[in-house]
Chains A and B, each alone.
Chain A
């Protein structure tokens, strides 16, 4: 890697840290409004993860997981995916539907809708924070909810993103409500030209 691309990555990283924190906190506000109770989100960790390591971080490529996928279009373009291991997705649904942990056993249409809404809100609020920071406006597509092996879910991101980028950006956040919590990993994969535009504007 050249010095300039390293510097480019560092600039991008610090920019994304600011936006991610703002975006995730905004998303928590949105979700609180949706469920009618205070839902908080921990300060997200922002990491750059090598493509090859993604699935190992989430229990291996064969582990069952839930992915909530959104495409971003407008002045900036890219992809967003909220990925949670299957048991954690059930807990997230419990949390959102205000029922005791362990109540949700399968993901039927109502549970999937709840997860879609979670993706929708997280995505929209995140993009609002991006717009506030950069002045670039964009909108998320309706979210798609996938339940499959983690490796297969991640293929979507890898196959549609810039194949030259060897790392993706990950935001790790913890959603909390009444002392209960559920982890979620949130992947942001900006299109290459978007990254360039964002850094130029900073």
Chain B
């Protein structure tokens, strides 16, 4: 029986239970980054809010794309994942405010995507599938049994990345 594990804002979750689906609901500018080690059926999903963790800040690391990715990867490694086997998928990073006067200062979605790209690049990890950017929110599901990632947005059918 399928079990939904909700990954809240600024949180991450790791699971090896094939019945579980890790879900980040209603991502706007946030990004959802999923990592999967097929050999041990280990899946992890991060729901990050902002791009770069401020130096010296005591703020929760999993809220940020750069530190969140590293936290998730460390947690996956502790549970036996091998970085060379990790498959990465990501979604989100929409720019929600496209009204005149807002666009310049509110491109957090784009900055989140860029932070994810550069962090993954520095860790020598490539992205197997993604649906990022745009102007609409998304719900992301990451299946522990096979590492599939699906996306749903309002007015559209669920699709795989």
User: What is A's interface to B at a CB cutoff of 8 Å?
Assistant: 51-52, 55, 60-62, 64, 69, 71, 141-142, 144-156, 158-160, 163-164
- Bound together, the chains give a CA A159 to CA B49 distance in angstroms of 6
User: Which residues of B, 1-36, contact A by the 8 Å Cβ criterion?
Assistant: 8-9, 25-30
- Bound together, the chains give a CA A160 to CA B106 distance in angstroms of 8
Residues of B contacting A64 in the complex (Cβ-Cβ under 8 angstroms): 154
Residues of B contacting A60 in the complex (Cβ-Cβ under 8 angstroms): 25
Point out the residue from B8, B106, B108, B139 that lies within 8 Å of A149, measured CB to CB.
B139
**Cβ contacts A to B, 24 pairs, < 8 Å:** A51-B9, A55-B26, A62-B152, A69-B97, A142-B100, A142-B101, A144-B97, A144-B102, A146-B96, A149-B26, A149-B137, A149-B153, A152-B96, A152-B137, A152-B138, A155-B27, A155-B28, A155-B30, A156-B28, A158-B49, A159-B28, A159-B50, A163-B49, A163-B59
User: Which residues of B, 60-108, contact A by the 8 Å Cβ criterion?
Assistant: 63, 94, 96-102, 106, 108
Which A residue's beta carbon lies closest to that of B60?
A: A163
Residues of A contacting B9 in the complex (Cβ-Cβ under 8 angstroms): 51-52, 151, 158
In the bound complex, do residue A150 and residue B102 qualify as a contact, i.e. CB atoms below 8 Å apart? no
Point out the residue from A51, A152, A164 that lies within 8 Å of B136, measured CB to CB.
A152
- Bound together, the chains give a CA A147 to CA B106 distance in angstroms of 17
Q: State the Cβ distance, B14 to closest chain A Cβ, in Å.
A: 20
Residues of B contacting A71 in the complex (Cβ-Cβ under 8 angstroms): 102
Apart from A141-B102, A142-B99, A144-B98: 17 A-B pairs, beta carbons within 8 A: A52-B8, A55-B25, A144-B102, A145-B99, A148-B137, A148-B154, A149-B25, A149-B138, A151-B139, A152-B29, A152-B96, A154-B26, A155-B28, A156-B28, A156-B29, A159-B28, A163-B59
Can you list the 8 inter-chain pairs with the closest CB atoms, starting with the nearest? A151-B26, A152-B137, A152-B28, A155-B28, A61-B26, A144-B99, A61-B25, A149-B26
User: What is B's interface to A at a CB cutoff of 8 Å?
Assistant: 8-9, 25-30, 49-50, 59, 63, 94, 96-102, 106, 108, 136-139, 152-154
In the bound complex, do residue B29 and residue A159 qualify as a contact, i.e. CB atoms below 8 Å apart? yes
Q: State the Cβ distance, A168 to closest chain B Cβ, in Å.
A: 13
Residues of B contacting A153 in the complex (Cβ-Cβ under 8 angstroms): 28, 96, 137
- Bound together, the chains give a CA A147 to CA B99 distance in angstroms of 13
Residues of B contacting A160 in the complex (Cβ-Cβ under 8 angstroms): 106, 108
In the bound complex, do residue A155 and residue B49 qualify as a contact, i.e. CB atoms below 8 Å apart? yes
Pick from B28, B49, B59, B108 the residue with the most CB of A within 10 Å. B28
Point out the residue from B8, B97, B138, B152 that lies within 8 Å of A156, measured CB to CB.
B97
Residues of A contacting B59 in the complex (Cβ-Cβ under 8 angstroms): 163-164
Point out the residue from B50, B97, B98, B139 that lies within 8 Å of A62, measured CB to CB.
B139
